[in-house]
A and B are shown apart, each in its own frame.
Chain A
Amino acid sequence: MAIEIKDLSYTYSPRTPYAATALRNVDFTIEEGVFLGIIGKTGSGKSTFIQHLNALIKLQSGSIKVMDIDLTAKKPDLKRLRGTVGMVMQYPEYQLFDETVEKDVAFGPKNLSLSEEEIKGRVREAITLVGLDFNEVRDRSPFELSGGQKRRVAIAGVIAMRPKILILDEPTAGLDPQGKKEILSLIRRLKETTSPTVIIISHDMDAVAEECDQVALFSEGKLAAFASPEEIFYNDELLAETEMDVPSVVKIAKELKKRGANIEGRPVKKAELIERIKRWRDE
C-alpha cells in the first residue's frame, strides 16, 4: 500500500460565513506501483485532495497514511513525507526562482541534510533524467529556457528528492503537442526509474485513458468512483451524473456498438480500438 485515505473531509474557512466544503468522506487506498489518474470538474476537490498527500493542507478530519508515515500523528515526520511524496504543481515553471538551473534543482535536496557530494550527484542525475544536457544548462538562468524546458527543470527539482510517489497536477496544461508528448513520456520514464507510484490530475480524458491503470473520479468533493478506466468510461450513468467527457476512443467504440458492430470488450486506448475494429472487419 502506498497511500491509505480514510474518511477524509475538508472545509475551507470553517465556522465562518464563507465556509466551503471541498472534500466529503473520501475513503480509498492507492496501491504501490499504480499509475492513477484523478479526474473531475474544476471545483470537484481534486487539488484539495492531492495537497493533503504531502501535508500542504492540514488534516481536519479523517486519516491519511503515506507508506509508513501517519499524518494523524501529533507531529508527523514532514521532512520524510516530502522526501517520499514529490508534488509537481500546476504550471510549476512559475515557481522557478534561482539564478542558475543547477541551484534551482538543488534547493530541495539541500533541505534534506545530505552531503555536498550527494546533492551534486542527485542534481546531475535529475537534470539528465528529465532529458536536459546537464553541462549545457547547469549555469544558465532557468528564465531564459523555453516553456517546455522550464517545466522539465521544475520537475527535476522534485525528482532530485527521489520521491517514491510522484504527484503531478495537470502536467501537460498549456504545452504544445510536442511538449505534451515529451512530458508524458518523461512521466512514464520516471515511473520506471525513480518513482514507482504516479498520480496525475488531468482534464485530458484521452491522456488518462492511454496512460492510467486506475482512475479516481471526484464530484462535488466526493469520490464518485475509483476503478479501472474501462469501468469508468463505459459507465454512462456515472458520466452523465458527474458531467464528465469521455475519451474519443470510447465515443467511437460506443457509436460502433450502437450500430450493431461486434466490437469486443471495452477499449479505452487507441491501439486497442484499432485492433478490435480490424478484428470485427475480418470476421
Chain B
Amino acid sequence: MPIRFDHVSYEYPSEDSPVLAVKDVSLDIEDGSFVCICGENGSGKSTLAKLINGLLQPTKGEVTVDGATTSTEEESELFAIRQKVGMVFQNPDNQMIASIIEDEIAFGPENLGVPREEIEERITYALEAVGMSEHRHHTPYKLSGGQKQRIAIASVLAMRPEVLVLDESTAMLDPKGRKEVLKVAHELNNQHITIILITHFMEEAAQADRVIVMNRGEIVMDDVPQKIFSDREKLERYDLELPVVDEIASELIEAGIPIPSQIYGESELAEAIWRSK
C-alpha cells in the first residue's frame, strides 16, 4: 500500500486564527489507481495533495508512502519520498526554469547525481511519454499551456516517480490543453503509475477509478464516479458542478421524464430521451 493517511489533520499556522484545512482524514490509495480528488475552493483538496509528498507535514496523525513517514526531520528521507511522489501544479509558467526543454527535464535528475548517459535516457523516455519529443531542443516559453504542462509532467517523470499528483494542473488550460494533459495522465496510468488528480472539473472525474470529494477539510464522498455522479443531492450540497449534460438529465428527471439517473455523455442522454417517448 504505497500511500496511507492515518487520522491526518493539517492546520495552517496563523497568529490570530489558525485554519484547520484537513480534519482527521484516513485514506488508503492503492498502487496503480487513478484517483480524482474534487471539492470547491477551500475544501482542503490542495492541502491534501501537498501532504502526500511531505511538502506539508501533518500537524496531527501520519502520512506514509510505502511505509516511510513524511513526518521526518531527515532531509534525505523526505527527498526519497518526493522522488517517488512527483507533483505538477496549476500555473505552467511558474514551473519553468530552464531556457531549453531538455535542460528543464535534466534539472531534477542532475540534482540527484544521475550519470549523464542515464540522464539522456531519462529525457528521451520522459519526452516520449508526454508526446513532446520533437520539442527537445526548443525553448519552453513559446509552447501552449497544455504543452507546458506536459513538459512539467515530463520533468517529474525524469525522476522516475511511482505516483504523479496533478494539483489543479488543468485549471488554467483551454479545452484542448486539458484534453492533452488528461490523455497523458491516462497513458501514464496504463504504465502503472498511480495518478492523483486534483480538479474541480467533474468531467475529468468521470474517467477515474475512484472519486474522493472533500468539503471543509473532510472526505464526504468516496466512490466510483458513476455512483458519485448519480447522487445529485450531495453534489449540490458540496457545490460540485455536474457536467452540463448531467444537469440537463437531472432537470428532465425532475420534470417527470423517465430516464436513468446515470448518464455518460450527450449521445447516451439523447438515446435515453428518445426511448422515453
- The answer on a CB contact under 8 Å between A274 and B255 is yes
- The answer on a CB contact under 8 Å between B41 and A203 is no
CB distance from B174 to the nearest CB of A (A): 5
69-123 of chain A: CB within 8 A of chain B: 91
Question: Does A176 belong to the interface (CB within 8 Å)?
Answer: yes
CB distance from A134 to the nearest CB of B (A): 22
CB distance from B120 to the nearest CB of A (A): 31
- The answer on a CB contact under 8 Å between A177 and B243 is no
Which residue on chain A has the smallest CB distance to residue B177? A42
Interface size on B, residues (CB 8 A): 34
Question: Does A147 belong to the interface (CB within 8 Å)?
Answer: yes
- The answer on a CB contact under 8 Å between A176 and B276 is no
Q: B266: which A residues are within 8 A, CB to CB?
A: 248, 251-252, 255
- The answer on a CB contact under 8 Å between A252 and B270 is yes
- The answer on a CB contact under 8 Å between A43 and B144 is yes
Partner of B270, one of A176, A247, A259, A280: A259
- The answer on a CB contact under 8 Å between A252 and B276 is no
Question: Does A146 belong to the interface (CB within 8 Å)?
Answer: yes
Q: A173: which B residues are within 8 A, CB to CB?
A: 171-172
CB distance from B192 to the nearest CB of A (A): 31
Partner of B277, one of A43, A179, A270, A280: A280
Which residue on chain B has the smallest CB distance to residue A206? B244
Which residue on chain B has the smallest CB distance to residue A203? B174
CB distance from A17 to the nearest CB of B (A): 14
Give CA–CA (A189, B164) in the complex, Å.
Answer: 42
- The answer on a CB contact under 8 Å between B239 and A261 is no
- The answer on a CB contact under 8 Å between A174 and B252 is no
Asked, given contacts A176-B239, A247-B244, whether A255 binds B267 with beta carbons under 8 Å apart, the answer is: yes
26-72 of chain A: CB within 8 A of chain B: 41-43
Interface size on A, residues (CB 8 A): 35
CB distance from A283 to the nearest CB of B (A): 9
Which residue on chain A has the smallest CB distance to residue B244? A248
Partner of B42, one of A146, A175, A261, A280: A146
Give CA–CA (A223, B7) in the complex, Å.
Answer: 57
- The answer on a CB contact under 8 Å between A178 and B40 is yes
- The answer on a CB contact under 8 Å between A270 and B174 is no
Give CA–CA (A91, B94) in the complex, Å.
Answer: 14
Q: Given A203-B175, A251-B267, 16 other A-B contacts at CB below 8 A?
A: A43-B144, A91-B172, A146-B42, A173-B171, A176-B41, A177-B239, A248-B243, A251-B245, A251-B266, A252-B269, A255-B266, A255-B270, A256-B270, A261-B274, A270-B248, A273-B248
Interface residues, chain A, CB within 8 Å of chain B?
41-43, 91, 146-148, 173-180, 203, 206, 245, 247-249, 251-252, 255-256, 258-259, 261, 270, 273-274, 277-278, 280-281
19 inter-chain pairs at a CB distance below 8 angstroms, sorted by A residue, are A41-B174, A42-B145, A146-B42, A173-B172, A177-B200, A178-B40, A179-B41, A248-B243, A248-B244, A248-B266, A249-B248, A252-B266, A252-B273, A255-B270, A259-B271, A261-B277, A273-B248, A277-B257, A277-B273
Interface residues, chain B, CB within 8 Å of chain A?
40-42, 90, 144-145, 171-172, 174-177, 200, 239-241, 243-245, 247-248, 251-252, 255, 257, 266-267, 269-271, 273-274, 276-277
